[in-house]
Amino acid sequence: MSSFLPPADRIWWKVPVGRQEIVWISIALVWCLIMFFMMPYWHVYGKQNLSSEAYQTNAEKFGASVETFVEKYQTRIDEQSGIPVVTPPAGSDIYMLGRLWQWYPILELEKDKTYRLHLGSMDWNHGFSLQPVNINLQVVPGYEMVIKITPDQAGEYTVVCNEFCGIGHHTMVGKIYVKEN
């Protein structure tokens, strides 16, 4: 029998299944079961999934929270970009917003201290991509994403928008500085 020709017997479901087909169906079933059980296992023990929270908000409310945060913890203005650099205390809630076409403000954090990072968008969908550690999140208007971060290496990290957001998308770059205690 060929897959190009109709079966000679019109009642094809009564034809016994061939040995090769049974082997391939068995292999596929076993692989499906392995993948099914690996997904919850890897979610719990894989250490690549961020535990995040999401809250409904609006641009005005989130923008006011960010401005209050900046006013309270601003230490200087970045000479190159003109964006405020904020140095919050360890363990605090920190805020960063995406808007056409910048990440605001620049954060200066302490190494090995945990923070709750609140992310929000003022206008379009943006992608929060922290490089070189490869943390990726969608930042959607109307929602506030909250993740816990603990920087474990000092240095300068770049925040890139990895969701196309318009003509200035390629310029949407932010910074996070991590300093030694």
Whole-Å CA distances, 142 to 21, 122, 135 = 51, 8, 21
Q: Please tell me the predicted confidence (pLDDT) of residue 39.
A: 86
Closest CA to 122 of 149, 144, 92: 144
Does the domain spanning 52-179 belong to CATH 3.40.50.2300? no
Rg over CA atoms, the chain: 25
Least confident of 9-18, 53-62, 156-165: 9-18
Whole-model pTM: value is 0.73
Tens digit of each residue's pLDDT (9 = 90 or more) over 11-57:
767 778 888 989 999 999 999 999 999 988 887 787 666 777 888 98
